[in-house]
Structures are given as C-alpha cells and as structure tokens.
Structure 1
Amino acid sequence: MRFTRMRTARATWAALVAVPLALGGLTSQSHAQDASPSPSGTFGPGCSSLSQKADTARDKVVEAAAAYPELSQLVAATVRARLGGTLDGKPDVTVFAPNDQAFKKVTASQLAALLKNEGQLKKVLTYHVVDQRIAPDQLSKGSFTTVEGSKLTTSGSGSHFKVNGKANIVCGNIKAANATIYVIDAVLQPPS
C-alpha cells in the first residue's frame, strides 16, 4: 500500500510539473517567432573548429587569446606593439580578434610594413578594441567607439554578424576575466 501511494504521489507531482512546463514552452515559441533571438553563450560557424587549450573565463584578455592557437598572429602582434599591459589593465573591453586566416589575407609586404611601424601597429590593433563589453544583443545594429578613437559598426541577426560590413564574426561571445572576444575573419583598418 505504501509503495502504491509513493508511485501515485510521484505521478501526480510529475503531472503538476509537466503542465506548466508545456505551457511555458508554448509561450516561448510564440514569442520566439515575434523577435530574432540573440545568441547566448558562444556562437558562430567557426566555434567548433576553434581549438581552445583551457577555460579562459578567469584569464585577462591577452592570456585568454593566447589559449586559442588560431589567434597566434594577433597575440604576437599585440606583444610586438607592447599592448598586453594596456589591454589586460582595462576592466571591461570587447576585442574583435582577427584569426590567423585574417592575417593571411593581408599581403606579405603590407604585414611586414605594419609590423615594422609600432605606432601604426598600435593604431590598427586598438581599432579592434572597444572600451566596454558588448553583448550579442547589441550587435544587430551597433556603432561603437574603439580605443583607437574611430567608430566601428556591427550588423546582422541570429548568430550571423559582420563588423564594418566586411569581417564575419566566426565565433563570438568568448569570455575572459576582463573582456568579451569576437573572433573575426578579416583585419580591420581604421578610417584614414
């Protein structure tokens, strides 16, 4: 008899929980059709191929970027420009981080000239950094002032976004202790 009461009580409890969950699921679906949802967590077509060495949520931005082999060119350029301390010292930033494929799109002569000119290198790299954390829901029609001082724009919806209408966000919303990182497939140039 005791066993039967326990089974009945569990079945009743399951039914009480299932009905509100089912109704909540229907409500969420109808609202989801009304608005384009923003991604939560990391998103983008390149996230699955982005190999990460460790969890970066507790690392400062330069160390977090260094955990991704696909960002080795960016990390090397940041070290060369002596920006590591500056970026790690900021409390909240967003980095639109060009991956190694993005650096391969720059001609060898342009890249060599950029790496030789520390002032120009700093200008280009700080154009990829915004002095605030940018959430995915701010990307659809965003306009942000970069650390370099010029404007940068974002556009798109769902999990497909562009920066300055040119660079695709291939993996976004990567967390670091003081930053949010969006990996992009092009090196951005600040306006002249």
Structure 2
Amino acid sequence: MTIIRNAIAAVASVTVALGAANAGNYGADKKDIVDTAVEAGQFETLATALTAAGLVETLKGDGPFTVFAPTDAAFAALPAGTVDTLLMPENKDQLTAILTYHVVPGKVKAADVVNLESATTVNGADISISVDNGTVMINDATVTTADVKASNGVIHVIDKVIMPPSN
C-alpha cells in the first residue's frame, strides 16, 4: 500500500482527472486525456499506474488517442496484490503492456465503436468489440460511459481492467 500511496501523491501533482462517471463530459473538452481523467475522481489507480509506467507525458501529447479507462473499482476487482505488484519498478514492462492495451490510436467515438469488431491497440494486440442489446463490450469489459471528450482524444469508461493476450 505504501507504493500506491506514494504513487498517488506523485500523480496528485500531475492530476489525471475524469470526474464522476455520471458527470457527462466532465468539462474536459479543453483538457488532455490525463487531466480529464484525474479530475473525474474515479481513476486514481489508473493515474498512479500511468505515472509508474512513464506514460503520462505520452497521453498528454497531441494524439489523438482513444482510451478505454478502467475505474478504481475495476482495478480493485483484480486479485489481491495485483496492483501493488504491477506498480513495482521491476514490473514496469508488464504494466506498460497492460496500460497500452487500453489505448487505441486515433479518436474512436461511440458511433464508430459500434461498427467495429476489433481494434489494434498501442500495445500492438487487438481488442474485441461487440454490442449486445445496446451495451458495448471491449473484450469482457462493459463501456459504462462513452465519449468523454478531451483535447487530444476521447475516453470510454470501462468496468474491468482488460489484459493483453500472453505471448
């Protein structure tokens, strides 16, 4: 837990905000993906992980990016100790692989996502996309909030951490 607390303190200075999931667009149209996520208040673990993986500056870049952002509850649902283990410096490559599996190059809005069956992530692996009774699924994660606007892309909130296929 000390690792997480220290990382959260570091992220607080970077501020990765998406605000409450029910807050619509979070007023983030003028903020980048990282700042939009931080403001949301439900992505502290994601912000911590982005910092540990050294991906904050990338996601603050020009983009555009589409991020499938797992909430703090999604990270908490992982097996006990998983997040602490991933945040260790010696596991940076694995953490980076997981996080980049949540990012697709370009700006893919919900209207586009529903017409796709898959997309290639920044990680290089494909994610599957399906729609069932109006519910969009990314692998086995449900999109709970779509089209959160950011200056350099779009965020879709998901309820699970998706894992890249093992090599």
Q: Secondary structure at the match of 2:42?
A: helix
Match in the other structure for 1:97:
69
Between the two proteins, the alignment pairs up a number of residues equal to: 145
Work out which of the two has the higher radius of gyration on C-alpha atoms and give 1 or 2.
1
Q: Matched residues in 1 for 2:98 and 2:59: separation?
A: 14
Q: Deviations over 1:85-116 (max 9, x none)?
A: 11111421100000011011101222222111
Q: Which residue of structure 1 aligns with residue 58 of structure 2?
A: 86
For the residues of structure 2 that align with 1:179 and 1:108, how far apart are their CA atoms? 32
Task: Give the TM-score of the pair, scaled to structure 1.
Answer: 0.70
SS of equivalent to 2:35: helix
Q: How do 1:122-137 residues align onto structure 2 when only pairs under 5 Å count?
A: 122-137=96-111
Q: Which residue identity lines up with residue 129 of structure 1 in the other structure?
A: V
Q: Which has the higher helix share?
A: 1
Correspondence list, 1:107-118, <5 A: 107-116=79-88, 117-118=91-92
Does structure 1 conserve the Cα–Cα contact (< 8 Å) formed by 2:20 and 2:40?
no
Identity of aligned residues (%): 33
What is the TM-score with the length of structure 2 in the denominator? 0.79
Match of 1:182 in 2: 156
**Runs ≥4 residues deviating over 3 A:** 47-54
How far off its partner does 1:51 sit? 4.9
Distance 1:127 1:163 in 2: 11
> RMSD between aligned alpha carbons?
2.1
State the one-letter code of the partner of 1:145.
T
Output the CA distance in 2 between the equivalents of 1:112 and 1:77.
10
Question: Which structure 2 residues correspond to residues 1-192 of structure 1 after superposition, within 5 A?
Answer: 50-51=22-23, 55-116=27-88, 117-140=91-114, 141-156=116-131, 159-164=134-139, 166-192=140-166
Q: Give structure 2 stretches of 5+ with no counterpart.
A: 1-18
